[in-house]
Amino acid sequence: MNVATGSTGVLQGVTVSGTTGNGVRVDTNAPLRLQTASTVITGNTGAGIEVSHASIANFNSPPSSVTGNGGPEVICPGGAPSFVVGNISLVTEPISGCLYFP
């Protein structure tokens, strides 16, 4: 799944699994909202979520699950700072390279 260039992505009660590469990519001033505990990102060959170029991944409560991916669960690979906010209690690894605000 790709959310880019100012678009807003909302994941609510879905599973993103089995992709070659990252499960979800959020790029260029785009927000992603993970809405419910039934949202799961797992089993992708790359990162669970890649957040880049001043984008935001917003984990609402109850938390969504990001676990069992081939790369980091949540990664911000560089460029303009990107952010992760909210409840990441069901993300199984520390986030990588992102600015985090609970």
Tokens of 39: 């949202």
How many Cα atoms are found within 13 Å in the side-chain-facing hemisphere of 62?
A: 7
Domain count, the chain: 1
Percentage above 90 pLDDT, the chain = 90
How confident is the model over 41-54, as a mean pLDDT?
97
pLDDT at 11 over 80: yes
Q: Which domain holds residue 70?
A: 2-101
Extract the tokens encoding 48.
């669970």
Which residues fall within 8 angstroms of residue 10, CB to CB, at 6 or more apart?
A: 32, 33, 35
pTM for the structure as a whole = 0.95
| pLDDT for residue 54 | 95
